Amino acid sequence: MLKKILIGFVLVVFTLTGGGLVFIWQAGAWNILFPSSAHDVSAPKVPEFDRPAVLVFSKTNSFRHTEGIAAGIPALQTMAEKNGFPIFATENGAVFNAQDLSRFRVVVFLNATGDMLSAAQETAFKNWLEAGGGWLGIHAAGDGSHAEWTWYVENLIGAEFTAHILGPQFQTATVIAEDMQHSVNSGLPASWEAEEEWYSWKASPRERGFHIISTVDESTYDPVQNIFGSSNDLRMGDHPIAWSNCVVGGRTFYTAQGHAAAAFKHPMYLLQLENALRWLSSDGLCTPWSSRP
């Protein structure tokens, strides 16, 4: 009898543990518990494009936004094809080499997380961007998993990630277009509503000279993280959610939206992303807004 009880107990523990691990995997949190530093060494075969293309990179060595990546790739493909940009999607970080990057005009980090690239790959990307490339970062491209890549955080994100709302995780809030003159906001209303897992940062990237494209109105949602019985206030006051920057000869645009599949069906968000692709691929050096008359 005791043997049967012990066997039954072991089976229950095994079932619960296995079920928990499956849930963690499906939720995209596996690499938070078991972070990876694996770097690809063999580059994928990149097609021969007849014009500069768009590279969509969605490698996740930390949390994986499975739903957002799955919906984001076809959405980006649609808008790239509409604007005559060839597009190539991969999760192979070895594509970040001088030869392959020279084929692309814009690189998109679609919810890419963690220690994704080797030092040489990071340098290749830095050189490509500073020579006139365009970078589009979506949602988790600005989370805390990139903290060790100092150049990236200082030049592309410009802010230290703190947390996202939780309890509830997704809330509808009002997005406010701060700069209606910027081409990224072309065709957008002065304000619009969206449901998102809203991010917060330690300080606004405005303080580091980044140009703010849009903000979120904190009075229209509950900017609090409720977790493990405690409540953390995530209010920033000045709360940007989309901004641009000039990095030597290159230009960058980051948007904190894009966690779930629903974001890539929102007409205002899709329009802003499409505008961003056009702006990032446009000719001429990026001129910092602070130096414009």
HEC readout, the chain: CHHHHHHHHHHHHHHHHHHHHHHHHHCCCHHHHCCCCCCCCCCCCCCCCCCCEEEEECCECCCCCHHHHHHHHHHHHHHHHHCCCCEEEECCHHHCCHHHHCCEEEEEEECCECCCCCHHHHHHHHHHHHCCCEEEEEHHHHCHHHCCCHHHHHHHHCCCEEEECECCCCEEEEEEECCCCCHHHCCCCCEEEEEECCEEECCCHHHHCCEEEEEEEHHHCCCEEEECCEEEECCCCCCEEEEEEEECCEEEEEECCCCCHHHHHCHHHHHHHHHHHHHHHCCCCCCCHHHCC
Of 85, 88, 86, 151, which Cα lies nearest the Cα of 117?
151
* Per-residue confidence (pLDDT) for residue 76, from 0 to 100: 98
Lookup: tokens for 194 = 């969206």
Task: Tell me the CA end-to-end span of the chain in Å, nearest whole number.
Answer: 85
Residue type (1 letter), 240: P
* Per-residue confidence (pLDDT) for residue 283, from 0 to 100: 85
288: number of Cβ within 10 Å? 13
CA distance 68 to 259: 5
* Per-residue confidence (pLDDT) for residue 16, from 0 to 100: 41
CB-CB contact of 204 with 229 (8 Å) = no
Backbone angles phi, psi at 243, to 5 degrees: -155, 165
pTM of this prediction exceeds 0.85: yes
In angstroms, how far is CA 140 from the centroid of its own chain? 4
Task: Report mean pLDDT in 10-residue bins for the chain, 293 residues.
Answer: 55 41 44 81 96 97 97 98 97 98 98 98 98 98 97 98 97 97 97 98 97 98 94 97 96 98 98 98 78 46
In angstroms, how far is CA 259 from the centroid of its own chain? 8
CA distance 196 to 2: 52
In angstroms, how far is CA 281 from the centroid of its own chain? 18
* Per-residue confidence (pLDDT) for residue 5, from 0 to 100: 56
* Per-residue confidence (pLDDT) for residue 7, from 0 to 100: 57
